[in-house]
Structure 1
Amino acid sequence: MQNKYKNNNMKQFPIALVISSFFLYTPIRAQFDPSKIFQQDFYKFKGDPYRSASGKPGPHYWQNQADYQVKASFDTTTLQLKGDVHIHYSNNSPDPLDELWLQLDQNNTLTNSRANRMHDPNVPADPTTGYQITQVRLKQGSDWETIPYLVDDTRMQIRLANRPVKAGDKIELDIQYTYVLQASGGGGRSGYLATKNGRIFEFSYWYPRMCVYDDYYGWNTLPFIGSGEMYLDYSHVDYSVTVPANLVVVGAGELINGQDILSQPVRNRLTQARQSDKTVPIRSAADLTRGVTQATKGEVTWHFQMQNTRDVAWAMSTAFLWDAAKINLPEGKTALAQSVYPLESTQDSLAWGRSTEMIKASIEHYSKKWFPFPYTTATSVAGPVGGMEFPGLAFNHWQAKPYIMYLLASHEIGHTWFPMIVGSDERRYPFMDEGFNTFLNVLAQEEFNDGEFAPKRDGEYAPGGGNPADEIIQVIATSGEANTLMTRPDAMDRKYVHPLAYFKSAFGLTLLRDVILGPDKFDYAFRQYIHHWAFKHPRPEDFFRSMENGAGEDLSWFWCGWYYHNWQLDQAISSVNYTDNESTKGIDITVANQQQMVMPILVEVNETNGKIHQFTVPVEVWQQGATTTFHVPTTSEVTAVTIDPQHRVPDVDRTNNVWKPKR
């Protein structure tokens, strides 16, 4: 979103302000070396029982599981959340675990957190921020015992004192904790906002969560510094929040005690919404003086459950308006789309009244084209967080106008597919969620309401209103080899995270689909990748191999040049000659590759007789050297030869892409 929609620690959605700061440059010609990009043995990992060389999970693929039962309460006066998380952890790995590691991402708010000390190493500690752990108990066998632990920044370690969790064993943990909700907490991904009718509270990273133990790194304990987001196992999460009775609460997953706590009018409207393709008001402006629960005073416990999820988040307010509609899913299944937002979000040119419509349409598109939405409810929450995703739930900025509202709605709920269904490691490889999701958004935007907000390629990919293939040139040229798509986000210069992880990654998939493979081959392979890795943990190599096997093409040159490097592309017409100097015998065109990146050659030839030749020279011609010559069977004089006339590939110098005869 625009900068006002994000704080300094948040990801930003479009990248207009970032790209506009890039300087113009003059490309420096590089000596093309085919062996650097067409590598004989690109893949160093040859496949094993856990991950197949075909890009699929192997026959002995495994992942651990942590199921959570969380009971929490929140004091709206002191802003203190008090919680008790009970964790059932299953060691499905072949390894004994000598210790357990947990994520305490809320500790990013500590004044002396690692993230803050990177900029101010002498900052004093503030004990009022971050988690306050009051008790940790372990059940390993039949008895509970209080156990020592070590908190290190945003991680907790529990050492098992020569009693490892053996392969196949299960243990239980119980952790009691509190923390004070900050105005911008959890790395800017939670917080609160004052409105006319009460505060909006948004809760994320709100309970200790198990780190992932996998077959690549063992324990994944990278600290939460701010740019890298989640990497979590799949879980069943059962959570209850006890809050004052006058609040509206929404959460990821399904409210399972709605019949017990919601008023009859609210239950009736929700029933109507579950059967309606049009948005149904659940709590309108006229209802703001009334609560939505049966209780009118005291406290109410809202009980949610979510299956097969990486995480849950929730929000609450007395100020929420609430509306909902039915989501139509494949095989006749349905789910519920809902939005909550303050009255201020409906005023002037703001578009929250269309949020549910947009979420519904986006989920229906993604479900039909890629993979069915797996949850019962999808929720969009208006509040202070400008755009943050969780499984089946998104925090979006309360001041969004129509175009931005659609970008938020389609993008943040689109993260349900990447990385919530396809569970990649956001802390290391943000291009696998931000970029893949942004690519999905492009196709959804073309379809929504007959392209009301399309084309997204001009709105998001090319924020200056130009062509995305031309604008990506600035990103590639200025980010350099120190900041590639394979660089973890916390190791990147911050100004390049979004141009690379969102823009370059998404445009790379567009190149694959529109230029290199074609829609049919790409869509099949990409869909196969999603289905193979749904609710599992793929790595970049798994994606690369899966796409190659699904499409039947060696794409190692593309992964090498586009993902591992920021190599540039410059295809130049060297010469155009009539065969045997006779215009009726055709022409011979010589093209040079003047940079290290390669692409197929997209060619258009115009004749004086009106005939136009359009064709593609396969990328394999560059395996043999820096120049290639091909014949075109023209029968009259040629008026022009053009490489990439529609600007579909990121050629850094288009002045050498056109040949015309001298007059």
Structure 2
Amino acid sequence: MDRSFIGKKFKKYSSLLCFIISSFASNAQEAYWQMEVRYDMDIEFDTKKHQFDGTQKLKIINRSPDTLSKLFYHLYFNAFQPNSDMDIRSNWIVDADKRVGTRISKLTDKEIGYHQIETVQQGNKKLKWTMDQTILEVILAKSLLPGDSTEITMEFESQVPIQIRRSGRNNKEGIDYSMAQWYPKLCVYDKNGWHANPYIGREFYGNWGDFYVNIEIDNNYCVAATGYQMNTSDVNCSSKTDKKGKSKWKFFAPNVHDFVWAADPDYVHESFTRKNGQVLHFFYQPKEETKEWKKLPAVMDQALDYIEKNFGPYPYKSYSFIQGGDGGMEYPLATLITGHRNLTSLAGVSIHELMHTWFQMLLATDEAEFPWMDEGFTSYAEYETEQYLKKLGVLPGEKPDSIPYKGSFDAYNKIIESGLEENLTTHADHYHTNYAYGIASYVKGALTMVQLEYLLGKDVARQGLLDYYWKWRYKHPTSDDFFRVMERRSGAELDWFQEYWIETTKTIDYAIDTVYSDGKKQCKLILERVGLFPMPIELNVEFEDGSHALHYIPLDLMRAEKSFGMQKVNCHKSWHWVNPKYEVLIEEPLQKIKKITIDPDQKMADINRKNNVLIIN
């Protein structure tokens, strides 16, 4: 055989082999991974100075394919100092959070928050580090290789700031300490690299792991926290005493990505054991303003029945509702909420924060990059749960809404009219206004699920949400991950919807153009796509005799049809998105028709419903 031929064949197959090997290597690198941590922290608290000394031992297991030569930590308390990034931004943003405003700029040295790092070690080697406000950069003495682990020991001193946002002391309800984002917290390293975002008061992102936390504080304090107290026989809220000295509270939280605690001498601790053995804990100051807390356990028990059935099981042994210093703020196995509320308000905020257990605490998205998946899905699930409780009559004087999500649609339309809307891909820290951030995260985020109900049918959309829970709990899902789950469940193509709804601010607006008789037994209807956002269309035709007929026009981009279950539907050929108009044949004489309505259930985010209805007779 010709040797040159053999050489050519060898080169050909050699190149092919290299391609195959590189493809396998590429796929291996693209396989999902996440970092793993274990925090062991001991703190000694000085309630007179509002300061604490801390020791943190952090075990880091590098599950990434990359070698890490440095680490980044969040130092959140440093944001509460004059001239911090959070202070400066709050002073120039046009609609500053009233809870912040100019308050940080006026803090004295004894009122500010801070983390002062004393030593950082890897094994027995001291490490070099630099601090830039809320971000600490640490250079490793020994690089952390893929698959390896290391332990970083840190000594630090911290001061708790006056209550401004989330964490702090001396709040208006009289809670001594609300301790959120209170420790040096390792930044997340994921497939997109480090997420060392300076803190300006917005969102969080943490690594999965176990937390062992010991808190030494004055004997007269009751402490509530994430996870399980491990020494209840030694110290608890009933055993607190005015005797001088300190007590050590020991907590363990398995498989979480953050840890919160709160402490107050006047807390009472009440508990409620559910039928499945889960325990709900309630920590609050017993006052006239908190009398509705007595009713909260029964409400939350019924709420959890609905939540677990519809959004997935709650996997931990307990959950704590803690009267805290700032609004409602979610954490693993616990929430901090302001407590001076009526029952409807108290139940609403409690359900919202509890729902964050699913949408952020279990499905741990990067809140800064995908706030709509965090706040939006939570708001959707909160609304659905509240409607269920209202039907049961659990919330006195409250009835289910006659038009679901009307408030959300109204808020969405209002920001569109204002011209201030920004798309959902905007990083949470970089919205130009708090208004735009709020609507995008809470309102349009919730309407994402409502639109999926419209596109796929409620049962399919809700089953897709459950699939999302089972596939991505204890992980860090992205927008792409969520939509791919929805596609697998529905069989529909949804990338077009993701692109329009998430990545643009294009709007939906469909109109009934004209209707005319086309013979004695049928008529034709011309529909117009006024907005730039294409959607499948549902039409309700109401007849003079009171009967109805539902018509459905699929969208070509979706490559599937909505599931209507047992409901009778007249299905038409697909509307190709490039066509601004579409002709519908209705096989009934025009004189029999009373009214035609686009989107009769009012689930589509159409910004102008006035052109959705045509009254004929």
TM-score over 0.5 (shorter chain): yes
Please state if 1:152 is matched with 2:132. yes
Instruction: Return closer, same or farther for 1:183/1:127 CA change in 2, 3 Å cut-off.
Output: closer
> Residues 462, 85 of structure 1: CA spacing in aligned structure 2 closer, same or farther, 3 A cutoff?
farther
Classify the secondary structure of the residue corresponding to 1:561: helix
* Partner of residue 66, structure 2: 95
SS of corresponding position for 1:411: helix
Code of the aligned partner of 2:71:
L
Is the contact between residue 603 and residue 614 of structure 1 (CA under 8 Å) also seen in structure 2? yes
What aligned pairs does 1:58-97 form with structure 2 within 5 A after superposition?
60-97=31-68
Partner in structure 2 of residue 340 of structure 1: 283
Residues 446-455 or 89-98, more deviating: 446-455
Who is 1:218 aligned against? 193
Q: Is the 8 A contact 1:136 1:176 kept in 2?
A: yes
The DSSP-based 3-state class of the residue aligned with 2:137 is strand
Match of 2:215 in 1: 241
Q: Which residue of 2 aligns with 1:617?
A: 553
Contact map agreement 2:284 2:323 (CA 8 A) in 1: yes
Mapped contact 2:77–2:160 kept (Cα < 8 A): no
Percent of aligned positions with the same letter in both sequences?
Answer: 24
Is 1:313 aligned with 2:313?
Answer: no
Q: CA deviation at 1:607?
A: 2.5
Mapping of 1:413-424 within 5 angstroms?
A: 413-424=354-365
Shift of 1:60: 3.0
Of 165, 171, 180, the residue aligned with 1:193 is: 171
Deviations 1:581-636 (A, max 9, x none): x1xx2221110001112222221222334432123222331424111111122256
1:461 CA displacement? 4.5
CA contact (8 A) 1:256 1:304 kept: yes
1:659 aligns with 2:600: no
Task: Tell whether 2:530 aligns with 1:547.
Answer: no
Residue 439, structure 1, aligned to residue 380, structure 2:
yes
Q: Give the Å deviation of 1:111.
A: 1.6
1:320 maps to a residue whose letter is Y
Q: Which runs of no fewer than 5 residues in structure 1 stay unpaired? A: 1-47, 267-290
- Aligned in 2, Cα 1:531/1:199: closer, same or farther, shift over 3 Å? closer
**Residue 537 of structure 2 is aligned to residue 601 of structure 1:** yes
Structure 1 residues 184, 49: closer, same or farther in 2, change over 3 A? farther
**Aligned ranges 1:356-435 → 2 under 5 Å:** 356-435=297-376
Match for 2:364: what amino acid?
Answer: G
Q: Give the deviation of 1:294 after TM superposition.
A: 8.1
**Could you tell me whether the CA contact under 8 Å between 2:34 and 2:63 is conserved in 1?**
yes
Is this contact kept in 1: 2:387–2:401, CA < 8 A? no
Q: Note the C-alpha offset of 1:298.
A: 2.0
Question: What letter is aligned with 1:523?
Answer: R
Q: Choose from 580, 594, 599 the match for 1:644.
A: 599
Q: CA deviation at 1:479?
A: 4.9
2:207 maps to amino acid: D
Structure 2 CA distance for aligned equivalents of residues 144 and 343 of structure 1: 49
For the 8 Å contact 1:477–1:566, the answer to whether it is kept is no
Following the alignment from structure 2 to structure 1, what is the Cα–Cα distance between the partners of residues 615 and 175? Answer: 66
Alpha-carbon RMSD across the aligned residues, in angstroms, is 2.8
Q: Partners of 2:604 and 2:441 in 1: how far apart?
A: 19
**C-alpha separation between the residues in 2 aligned to 1:616 and 1:452?**
37
Work out whether 1:486 is the aligned partner of 2:457.
Answer: no
Q: Say whether the 8 Å CA contact 2:539–2:596 is kept in structure 1.
A: yes
- Structure 1 residues 106-185: aligned runs within 5 Å: 106-118=77-89, 129-139=112-122, 143-160=123-140, 163-184=142-163
**3-state DSSP class of the match of 2:113?**
coil
Distance in 2 (alpha carbons) for counterparts of 1:357 and 1:193 = 28
Report whether the alignment pairs 1:251 with 2:225: yes
| CA 125–106 in structure 1, closer or farther in 2 if over 3 Å, else same | same
Partner of 1:37: none
CA distance 1:58–1:469, change in 2 (3 Å): farther
Q: Which amino acid aligns with 2:581?
A: T
Once residues 271 and 327 of structure 2 are traced to their aligned partners in structure 1, the CA distance between those partners, rounded to angstroms, is: 21
Please list, as runs of the form range in 1=range in 2, the aligned pairs for 1:528-567 lying within 5 A after superposition: 528-567=467-506
Distance in structure 1 (CA, Å) of the matches to 2:401 and 2:219:
46
SS at match of 1:315: strand
CA contact (8 A) 2:420 2:436 kept: no
Structure 2 contact 411–439 (Cα < 8 Å) conserved: no
CA distance in 1, matches of 2:592, 2:403: 40
Q: Report how far residue 415 of structure 1 moved.
A: 0.7
State the 1:249 CA deviation.
1.1
Structure 2 CA distance, aligned partners of 1:500 and 1:633?
42
Distance 2:180 2:67 in 1: 31
Task: List aligned pairs for 1:452-491, cutoff 5 A.
Answer: 452-453=394-395, 461-463=405-407, 468-480=408-420, 483-491=422-430
- TM-score, normalised by the number of residues in structure 1: 0.79
Query: Aligned partners of 2:460 and 2:63: how far apart in 1?
Result: 35
Q: Within 2, Cα distance between the matches of 1:364 and 1:51?
A: 44
> What are the Cα deviations for residues 89-124 of structure 1, in whole angstroms up to 9, with x where unaligned?
111111110111111112111222112233569979
Deviations 1:508-530 (A, max 9, x none): 201212x1111221122111111
- Judge conservation of contact 1:524–1:551 (CA < 8 Å) in 2: no
State the alpha-carbon separation in 2 of the partners of residues 383 and 130 from structure 1.
Answer: 18
Name the CA distance, whole Å, in 2 between partners of 1:471 and 1:165.
48
- State the AA in 1 paired with 2:338: H
CA distance in 2 between counterparts of 1:166 and 1:359 reads 46
Give the partner amino acid of 2:277.
T
> Number of residue pairs matched?
560
Amino acid at match of 1:381: I
8 Å Cα contact 1:587-1:631 kept in structure 2: yes
Instruction: Check 1:167–1:256 CA distance in 2 against 1; reply closer, same or farther (3 A cut).
Output: same
Alignment of 1:501-520 (within 5 A): 501-513=441-453, 515-520=454-459
Q: Residues 200-221 of structure 1: CA distance to partner in whole angstroms, max 9, x if unpaired? A: 3211111111111111x21111
Label 1:126 to 1:644 Cα distance change in 2 as closer, same or farther (>3 A). Answer: same
Contact 2:230 2:252 in 1 (8 A): yes
Deviation (angstroms), 1:446: 2.2
Q: TM-score, normalised by structure 2?
A: 0.84
Deviation at 1:657, TM superposition (A): 2.3
Deviation at 1:542, TM superposition (A): 1.3
